[in-house]
Chain A
Amino acid sequence: MTSIAIGESAPSFELPDTEGATQALNGDGDTSAPATVVVFTCNHCPYALAWHDRLLAVARDYADEGVRMLLINSNDAERYPRDSFDAMRERVSAEGGWPAPYLRDEDQSVARAYGAKTTPDVFVVAPDGAIAYRGAPDADSGDPGLDAAWLRAALDDVLAGRPVDRAETKPVGCSIKWRQ
């Protein structure tokens, strides 16, 4: 499966979130946000869990600047019940709510459209709808001090209207659990 390339238009989607709302991304240009972060993640992967707090901190820290984060779980819940929509709702509720919506990609079409490979796999979408960054949040899931530095740097570049200096890094994590 080919991943979407830097500079290409982000695939549009509409997905349900754990709060009963529908979240959409218009890949032709979402002028309501100066940048959108799309993160493929899940409930059961140690890499996704280790980076989770850092990603939510980015959502909080950039909210005032209008940055939007969408967390998407595309894993096959039949083989991995911990990634079911019910389990997603329970997790968000148990944690007292998240600063970014958690979306269910039941048919995995959004993960396929982006060519997502791992959890996490992070994409930054510029306001014109183009992919500006793709990869890992930072260099090491085991070092909270890195503070999602690659993602933050990419957002800073997009918000300043600059080309992203480090536009692509290797996504690191558990493989997306595709339906068989």
Chain B
Amino acid sequence: MTQPRVELLFWDGCPSHPKALADLRAAMADAGLDPDTVLVREVDTDERAGRERFVGSPTIRIDGEDIDPPPGDEPVGLTCRVYRLRDGRISPTPDPATVREALSNAMTRSIP
């Protein structure tokens, strides 16, 4: 099995990334992945946000795919992302169940 490439992109103007990173690392550990392999990258300029197709902080990608894909018309920029939890609540971080599911799907895909 190939270890999936797990990235967390954040903007420092939004205080949600420490919780998102903790949730992500916990989910990786639960899935048997090394939590220290997550690539944490700061997006700090509008130009970089454009290059990275960054629609807000935090953004988690696994093998390049957003774990909670935004609408196609979502503007890029330095902002906080709005997530909707599975129980309907608005949240600044993704639902941990969504993170676990995305990791599981990536690991399933990586099995030859």
| Interface residues in chain A, defined as those with a beta carbon under 8 Å from any beta carbon in chain B | 44-47, 49-50, 79-81, 141-142, 144, 172-175
- Please, which residues of chain A bring their CB within 8 A of the CB of B16? 46
A49-B82, A79-B77 known; A144+B89 contact, CB < 8 A: yes
Contact B90 A175 (CB under 8 A): no
Are B83's CB and A46's CB within 8 A? yes
> Which residue in A79, A142, A144, A174 is a CB contact (below 8 Å) of B80?
A174
| B92 and A46 contacting across the interface, CB-CB below 8 Å | yes
Report the separation of the CA atoms of residues A53 and B77 in the bound assembly, to the nearest whole angstrom. 26
User: C-beta contact mask, B62-105 vs A, less than 8 Å → 1, else 0?
Assistant: 00000000000001010111110000011110000000000000
CB distance from A128 to the nearest CB of B (A): 33
Nearest chain A CB to B19's CB is how many angstroms away? 9
Report the minimum CB–CB distance from B18 to chain A (whole Å). 12
Inter-subunit contact A49/B90 (CB<8 Å): yes
In the complex, the chain B residue whose C-beta lies closest to that of A75 is B79
For B89, list chain A residues within 8 Å (CB). 50, 142, 144
Contacts of A172 in B (CB 8 A): 15
